[in-house]
Structure 1
Amino acid sequence: MITLKNVTLRRSSKVLLDQASVTINPGENVGLVGRNGAGKSSLFAVLNGSLHEDGGEFSIPTQWRMSQVAQDMPETDQSATDFVVAGDTGLLAAQNEVALAEASDDGMRMAHAYMALHDAGAHDAPARAQGLILGLGFSVAELDRPVNSFSGGWRMRLQLARALMCPSELLLLDEPTNHLDLDALVWLEAWLKHYAGTIIVISHDREFLDSITNVTIHIDQSKLVRYGGNYSKFEDMRAEQLILRQAAQAKQQEKAAHLQKFIDRFKAKASKAKQAQSRVKALERMEKIAPILADAEFQFEFKEPFSLPNPMLSMSDASFGYPPSEDAPAGTPPTTIVQRVNRSVLAGQRIGILGANGQGKSTLVKTIAGALQPIAGEIITGKGLNIGYFSQQELDVLRPADTPLEHMIRLARDTPASVRPSAMECREQGLRNFLGTFNFSGDMVKQAVGSMSGGEKARLVLCMIVWQRPNLLLLDEPTNHLDLATREALSVALNEFEGSVMLVSHDRALLRSVCDEFWLVSRGGLSDFAGDLDDYQVYLLEEARRQRDAVAV
């Protein structure tokens, strides 16, 4: 088992853990939760040995093999398959021993080495690696592509596949869902449920935590508090504890006030001096119940749109895709991904866009947003349509060298007068005040966006969208860098929004709470999805199985 006893952990002058203790038993699937900056990733660093505790005792079984997703971006010409196979450290060690044995010309050593190579699974390693790669959303055609040819997000998926490939008794996962679509996320959950070792995971995805964890460890006020159960069970138990603590604190404050009143009344009287002094000591001895420092919730709301055209837009025999690249030969046709769509988006509709990876969800949303032109057909917009677009890549709309204030000033300048907020809201002080409501205050309004965290960038994009008072929200994976509290705030704000919503997300809790209907992008078309998200997860697993079967053939 993993044991931490009275562990103290500091980063610079900040105390992250203060005499914290917890035990993790073999085979447990643990969700590690706590507000941003509480020390979750630093605790991972203690577990993997890259950071040492400043006090107390920490132990982990010496025979346990550990696997963790590397956070660096891989730079290699290896094929995707070879890169993931290389994650099997046991196989690599066996291959190295075979090479040494063959060079030594020692027959007995070679026999043992070949046996160890067989036991390490050399015969089916490429197939196992390819199963992981396909499960995480790659296509069959990409199995032999060089790692360097993939974008950053896809390379991080390969790092995840490599970690899953490595034999281990302890698997550490720090935000494994950030770069995944819903289909890859569903596959990952199914894989982790069959993992035989101990899992410790940091995640802001409520349903992911609920699905795979059976223990929750909360970093709270520099302590490690263990709860039996998944994230939802933890929330229920913590809420009960907060209620009890609040009641106890109220009772304590009432008693303290009574004691203080006695002290103030009699401390100057000689006949009562001893009694007053005893009350002072009682007040000092009284156990101080820590104030209830509930995690600060970030809250916001979408203002009422200026107008609600109905329909918001209509797609008439529209096809979506990408034009040929600039260096493509003359006459190269565009790449069509979704075709012959005839649909309307009505005022007040709340649509979840579903579809396996690569089917065209983001392409559809980008085209409706105007970032791409339809390949064929047309999109007719309603009078007064005002779109708020959250791109999957926030930097598509952010300039790294500019500050939040500069972004808002440019937004105010470029917003058409017909949908521009009041003159007061467009002035610099008004923009500063508005940024403050999204937790951009003080020097942060003058900080270059490129130096900000992913969560801060996402928060700035949300701030810019809310300021524009849109009537149609196009949200493509808006929660990738948001913590649980901010995801909850977004869910509440979307449910109160009076306009229309089109949402692409792997956050099933957000999809369930916001969307009334689902559209499925699949095999070049767009159709209604009649089932719920549980039905959709079954559909995704069947699609993944179909792909794996295709590779096996």
Structure 2
Amino acid sequence: MITLKNVTLRRGAKVLLDGASVTLNPGEKVGLVGRNGAGKSSLFALLNGTLPEDGGEYFIPSQWRMGQVAQDMPETEQSATDYVVDGDTTLLAAQQEVTASEATDDYDRMAHAYMALQDAGAHDAPARAQALILGLGFKTTELNNPVNSFSGGWRMRLQLARALMCPSDLLLLDEPTNHLDLDALVWLESWLKKYDGTMIVISHDREFLDAVTDVTLHIDAAKLMRYGGNYSKFEDMRAEQMNLQQNAFAKQQDKIAHLKKFIDRFKAKASKAKQAQSRVKALDRMEKIAPLLSEADFTFEFKEPANLPNPMLSMTGVSFGYPPPDDAPVGTPPTVIVKNVSRSVLAGQRIGILGANGQGKSTVVKTIARELQPLEGEITEGKGLNIGYFAQQELDVLRPLDTPLEHMIRLVKDLTALGKIAGQATREQDLRSYLGTFNFGGDMVKQAVGSMSGGEKARLVLCMIVWQRPNLLLLDEPTNHLDLATREALSMALNEFEGTVMLVSHDRALLRAVCDEFWMVSRGGVEPFDGDLDDYQRYLLDEAKRQREAIKEASSAAAKAERKAQAEAAAKPKVKVASSGAKRQLEQLEARMAVLNGEGAALEGLLSKSPPPSDYAELGNRLKAVNDELQLLEEQWLTLSGQVEAAAVSH
């Protein structure tokens, strides 16, 4: 088990833990929660040995293997598969021992090294790695792409896959759901539910925490408080505890006031001096209950839109995608991802956009936001349409050297030049006051954005969108860097927003709270999804089941073909020549090779259709076995062919 006893932990001059104690039992799934800056990541640094304690003691079993997601951006030309395979530290050590043993004449050592390599799962390591990679949203065509060919968000997914690949007894996950879409998130939840080690996870996704944790560890006022149950149960127990603490504090204040009144009244009277002194001592001995300091709530609201065109926009025969690159040969066609969409977006609609990774959700949103041009068809905008667009990469467009105030001043200038100022106050003091409503007060107004956290940057982007008074909000994964309090504030603000919302998010709590209907982007089209998020998750499970049944059918067909080929080979007349035995074997080999070639082609076809990750490993293992057997049979066929030819020459 993990134990912390009276631990003190500092970051610089700030005390993060002060005499904190807690026990975590083997196999528990722990959600670590607390305000931003409370010390969650620092506690991880203590557990993984990169930050020493300043007082007290902590214990982790020395034999426990630890898995965690590296926070650095990987820079390598290794393929995605090889990079994730190298995350298996046990396998890596076994491979290194094999290499070292082969450089000696110690055959016993070599034998043990090869046995250890087999025990470490060398035979199916690539298949296991690829199942993880595909589960996290990559395409089958990307499995062998260099790591450096992927964007930052995708490389961080590879870091997560690498951590899951590592055999571990303790798994530390710091915001693992960032950069994931809903499909990958559902897969990750399923994987973590089956993990049999001890897990500690930091996350701002309440539904994710509810799904994968059974204990909640709260950092508050430099102490660690353990709660049995997931995040929702923690909230209930915390609220009850806060209510009890507030009541106890109020009662104690009444008692203190009564004691002080007695002391003040009688301390000068000789007859009562002893009793007054006794009450002074009682007051000194009293363990003071702290007043309730609830976490500061953050709220904001979208101003009423200047107008509400209806429809907001209409799409007629629209195809979405990307034009050919500038350096592409003349005549290179554009890349079409979604085609022939004819739909209208009405005033007041609240649309959640669903679909697997790579199906085109962000492409559709970017095109509606005017970031991309339609490849075909027409998008007709309502008069006065004012779009507020939060892109997945929105934080990247902020200027790191500029301050929040400079960002707001530049926004005002840009909109003024376009004639899009809708009566907002634009003086510098007004902008300072407005920034203060988004918790950019005091010195933060003039702090360089590059030095801010991801959550603060995301809050600034929201701040700039709200100021523009949009009537159509296009939000593409807006919660990636937001803490729970800010997510709750965004949810409340969107519920009160009078315009139209189109939302792409893996935050199911936000989708449930905000959206009344869903669009599904899939198989190159956009259609209404008739159901809620629970229905969508069932749809994902049904799709996985359908693909598994298709795989079984293909395997059954391959087995049937093999039996037929064997029967045909057995029914052929025997050749009565000296080489008849070799010829019979050749025929049997050729029949078997034909079956294997057919099965291999079928397996490759299934793998090209992106089967569920759980099936991908099975298919990959079978394809490898087929290819290995084919290679062996081809060698036998060559040997037998030589024997038959030699026999023919001798006759």
Q: In structure 2, the residue corresponding to 1:291 is in which secondary structure? A: coil
- For residues 163 and 47 of structure 1, do their structure 2 counterparts lie closer, same or farther at Cα, with a shift above 3 Å needed? same
Structure 2 equivalent of residue 302 of structure 1: 302
Structure 2 equivalent of residue 375 of structure 1: 375
Structure 2 equivalent of residue 187 of structure 1: 187
- Shift of residue 310, structure 1, vs aligned partner: 1.2
Question: Is 1:355 equivalent to 2:355 in the alignment?
Answer: yes
CA distance in 1: counterparts of 2:261 and 2:530, whole angstroms? 67
Structure 1 equivalent of residue 105 of structure 2: 105
Which residue type is aligned with residue 378 of structure 1?
E
TM-score normalised per structure 2: 0.82
CA distance in 1: counterparts of 2:538 and 2:193, whole angstroms? 16
Contact 2:2-2:61 at 8 Å conserved across structures: yes
CA distance in 1: counterparts of 2:310 and 2:277, whole angstroms? 75
Which residue type is aligned with residue 203 of structure 1?
S
Structure 2 equivalent of residue 388 of structure 1: 388
Could you list the per-position Cα deviations for residues 486-515 of structure 1 after superposition, in whole angstroms to 9, with x for gaps in the alignment?
A: 111111111111111110000001001111
Q: How many pairs are equivalent?
A: 552
Could you list the per-position Cα deviations for residues 55-87 of structure 1 after superposition, in whole angstroms to 9, with x for gaps in the alignment?
A: 112111111111111111111111000000011
Q: In structure 1, the residue corresponding to 2:209 is in which secondary structure? A: helix
CA distance in 2: counterparts of 1:98 and 1:398, whole angstroms? 50
Which residue type is aligned with residue 421 of structure 2?
R
Which residue type is aligned with residue 122 of structure 2?
A
- For residues 543 and 159 of structure 1, do their structure 2 counterparts lie closer, same or farther at Cα, with a shift above 3 Å needed? farther
Which residue type is aligned with residue 429 of structure 2?
Q
- Shift of residue 257, structure 1, vs aligned partner: 2.3
CA distance in 1: counterparts of 2:276 and 2:489, whole angstroms? 49
| Paired residues for 1:151-170 under 5 Å | 151-170=151-170
Could you list the per-position Cα deviations for residues 73-122 of structure 1 after superposition, in whole angstroms to 9, with x for gaps in the alignment?
A: 11111100000001111111111111122211222111111111110000
| Paired residues for 1:13-28 under 5 Å | 13-28=13-28
Q: Please, what is the CA RMSD of the aligned residues?
A: 1.6
Which residue type is aligned with residue 352 of structure 1?
G
CA distance in 1: counterparts of 2:452 and 2:352, whole angstroms? 29
Could you list the per-position Cα deviations for residues 393-418 of structure 1 after superposition, in whole angstroms to 9, with x for gaps in the alignment?
A: 12354222221111111212222587
Structure 2 equivalent of residue 89 of structure 1: 89
Structure 1 equivalent of residue 237 of structure 2: 237
Could you list the per-position Cα deviations for residues 362-421 of structure 1 after superposition, in whole angstroms to 9, with x for gaps in the alignment?
A: 111111111111111111111121111111112354222221111111212222587524
TM-score normalised per structure 1: 0.97
Contact 1:183-1:541 at 8 Å conserved across structures: no
| Paired residues for 1:285-324 under 5 Å | 285-324=285-324
| Paired residues for 1:506-517 under 5 Å | 506-517=506-517
Q: In structure 2, the residue corresponding to 1:6 is in which secondary structure? A: strand
CA distance in 1: counterparts of 2:440 and 2:160, whole angstroms? 33
Contact 2:390-2:478 at 8 Å conserved across structures: yes
Structure 2 equivalent of residue 116 of structure 1: 116
Which residue type is aligned with residue 442 of structure 2?
G
- Shift of residue 147, structure 1, vs aligned partner: 0.5
Q: In structure 2, the residue corresponding to 1:171 is in which secondary structure? A: strand
| Paired residues for 1:19-98 under 5 Å | 19-98=19-98
Which residue type is aligned with residue 348 of structure 1?
G
Report which stretch shifted further, 142-151 or 286-295: 286-295
Which residue type is aligned with residue 375 of structure 2?
I
Which residue type is aligned with residue 86 of structure 1?
D
Could you list the per-position Cα deviations for residues 436-488 of structure 1 after superposition, in whole angstroms to 9, with x for gaps in the alignment?
A: 11111122112222221111110000101111111111111010000111111
- For residues 541 and 164 of structure 1, do their structure 2 counterparts lie closer, same or farther at Cα, with a shift above 3 Å needed? farther
Could you list the per-position Cα deviations for residues 329-387 of structure 1 after superposition, in whole angstroms to 9, with x for gaps in the alignment?
A: 11212111111111111111111000100111111111111111111111111112111
- Shift of residue 199, structure 1, vs aligned partner: 0.6
| Paired residues for 1:433-448 under 5 Å | 433-448=433-448
Q: Identical aligned pairs, as a percentage?
A: 80
Structure 1 equivalent of residue 643 of structure 2: none
Question: Is 1:420 equivalent to 2:427 in the alignment?
Answer: no
- For residues 365 and 391 of structure 1, do their structure 2 counterparts lie closer, same or farther at Cα, with a shift above 3 Å needed? same
Q: In structure 2, the residue corresponding to 1:383 is in which secondary structure? A: coil
Return 5+ residue gaps in structure 1 as ranges.
Answer: none
CA distance in 1: counterparts of 2:375 and 2:284, whole angstroms? 75
Higher helix share: 2
Q: In structure 2, the residue corresponding to 1:342 is in which secondary structure? A: strand
CA distance in 1: counterparts of 2:127 and 2:403, whole angstroms? 48
Structure 2 equivalent of residue 4 of structure 1: 4
| Paired residues for 1:412-491 under 5 Å | 412-415=412-415, 420-422=421-423, 425-491=425-491
CA distance in 1: counterparts of 2:463 and 2:334, whole angstroms? 35
CA distance in 2: counterparts of 1:120 and 1:218, whole angstroms? 37
Contact 2:215-2:229 at 8 Å conserved across structures: yes
Which residue type is aligned with residue 147 of structure 1?
V
Q: In structure 2, the residue corresponding to 1:415 is in which secondary structure? A: helix
Contact 2:65-2:167 at 8 Å conserved across structures: yes
Structure 2 equivalent of residue 533 of structure 1: 533
Contact 2:395-2:461 at 8 Å conserved across structures: no
Q: In structure 2, the residue corresponding to 1:371 is in which secondary structure? A: coil
Q: In structure 2, the residue corresponding to 1:348 is in which secondary structure? A: coil
- Shift of residue 285, structure 1, vs aligned partner: 2.6
CA distance in 2: counterparts of 1:363 and 1:401, whole angstroms? 30
Larger Rg computed on CA atoms = 2
Structure 2 equivalent of residue 505 of structure 1: 505
- Shift of residue 200, structure 1, vs aligned partner: 0.6
Q: In structure 2, the residue corresponding to 1:145 is in which secondary structure? A: coil
